[in-house]
Amino acid sequence: MIRSLNILLRPLTFNAQTNTLRFAKKSFLVSLILLAGFSSFAQKFERIEPMFWFAGMHNPKLQLLVHGENIATSNVTLSYPGVKLVKVNKVENPNYLFLDLELSSTVKAGTFPINFAVKGKKIFSYNYELKNRDKTAGRIQGVTQKDFIYLLMPDRFSNGDKSNDVVKGLAETALNRDSMYFRHGGDIQGVINHLDYLKDLGITTVWMTPEIENDMKKASYHGYAVTDHYKIDPRYGTNELFKKYVETAHAKGMKVVKDIVHNHIGTGHWFFKDLPMKSWVHQWPKYTQTSYRDQAVMDTHASAADRKKMLDGWFVPSMPDLDEQNPYVQNYLTQNHIWWIEYAGIDGLRLDTYPYNDPEYMADWALKLKAEFPTLSIFGETFVSGVANQAYFTQGNTVNRGFDTHLPGITDMAIKEGIYEALNGKNGWTDGINRLYDVVAHDFLYKDPTLNCIALDNHDMSRFYSVVNEDFDKYKMGMALLLTMRGIPQMYYGTEILMKNFSNPDGLVRSDFPGGWDGDKKNKFIADGRTNKENEAFNFVKTLANYRKNSAALQTGKLMQFVPEDDIYVYFRYNAQPKGTVMVISNNTEKEKTLNTDRFAERTNGITTAKNIINNETVSFKEIKVPAKTTLVLELN
């Protein structure tokens, strides 16, 4: 009996592309010892996560999730120098074990068996691997004001590998570019293929919406309904390809931001289908959706019920809300994010739906990640109303909280609204161009506003060019403000070629980038495929973005703004040395204005001429003519 089992049931190996175990002839990763009476149990063993870890981490603690049918009936042992099995945790669901390990500071990279036995008889062993940390210089660089981020949706940017367009066995196999709600076939290889296009444009950092598996029946392309935290969606590629993408970007002098989701998962997630415990997700007597009211988190007068609904309510029915007060959930998420950063060498993280997360956990999470990766950049999505609302979530604001969030920066929606009002509004005491001045004047609410990510639109908003009613002058005004304002500028894919549309009702803001697919009638990745106006827009962005790469004032400089007068808004970006100071002058009216520069003497003393960055022309400095609907960007000489 035993001999026949040894013939039929071969050792298991781990497949890094699919994050699963499979039968194979070699047993260098997982060795399987089957005894009579236990064969059915061993065949149903599912996974261990993280599937490998790293020696030399700051935090010596590691918690392994083990999943398999009735796995809790087994006893676990291991023996490896520098690794201690502190505790085996059994939870409500017998299909789970959580193993608490402690790694010494001197532990060496290598593999060791984790043995599982029932009634003293060994069922199988999992050969767990500890890898050396990658200490390559320039890895995990962080993202700062020196950078210009390009946000794209991989499904809608470019199809670089047709072989993964449809993957059998997944819940969604439809491929339909005529619908905004189905997959279109874009992938990571498509992004790799166009990194040179982005670099030429002046982009320094790429941010993709989440690339990890979203095995959902409908609208899975956006990436925010994760179904496997440790696996790149096979329609985008593999874990190895994602790592190659990061390494390729680094080799080209570019950085990578990864978009991660703490708050929720997709209903197709493997552990939602077999919950470790009831408290893994927030449970309600009946379905309860979040109120989306961030005020309930910060309001000193808020009811406990309103706060709970905001934080614990589900985002939408297809996205269960994780219970981040559960220590097992905390460990799982924190370790997963550390794993991806160390594995791939990511430079920064964008945190989705930040205000909906458990505040105390997020503070602890930030400390743990910064301890492992001091140069890592983090900014949280705060789709909220007002400067105070978004500043509340950033580091240093401990009033009424009793703790520090340790969140360096946020997605600065207030700046976006200020720029929109400056471009579309009618000038008044707090309206029009004065709104933008007022928003910037509230920077005292932040510990460091330069760490905020500023943008004019994204995948959840109407496109910028449509918001300004396809007014090309206003488009150029806005892009000039974006690329010279304090903070880390981010541009949504296609803005450089005037892609348009509104967020409702058809979702066309997520349209494909023309030329990203074989057979596209127009290829807007090349100049010949763009119209004259699209090329003018592309070159306008390119000129400013590439100037920014070499401008110390825009990369590291302070900001000084002046109260708008005669409907003209002026600010300076500058360092200690006056050479290279950038002066920004914005006239949002329908008339040309003449600006006398005497009132700016504290920043312009001794200046006689300036250079227009866009056309490279010399500008006489005493009185500057500012055309209607124009933002001038001048380098002072």
Which residues form the catalytic set?
A: 352, 381
Distance (Å, whole) CA 593 – CA 546: 28
Dump the DSSP string for 509-527.
Answer: GGPPPTTSSTT-S--TTSG
Judged by DSSP in three states, 335 sits in: helix
* 89 Ramachandran zone, left/alpha/beta (phi>0; psi -120 to 50): beta
Distance (Å, whole) CA 335 – CA 373: 13
Q: How many CB atoms lie within 10 A of CB 577?
A: 9
**Greatest pairwise CA separation for the chain in angstroms:** 97
- Helix 239-251 × helix 327-344 angle, to 10°: 50
Judged by DSSP in three states, 264 sits in: strand
Cβ contact 586:422 at 8 Å? yes
Determine how β-strand 348-351 pairs with β-strand 228-232: unpaired
Dump the DSSP string for 129-185.
Answer: EEEEP---TTSS----TT--EEEE-HHHH----GGGSS-TTSS---B-TT-TTSB--
Cβ contact 475:464 at 8 Å? yes
Distance (Å, whole) CA 256 – CA 261: 17
Distance (Å, whole) CA 274 – CA 24: 27
Q: Which residues contact 243 (CB under 8 A, 6 or more apart)?
A: 343, 344, 345
Q: What are the distances in angstroms from CA 386 to CA 389, 405, 431, 541, 562?
A: 5, 19, 15, 28, 21
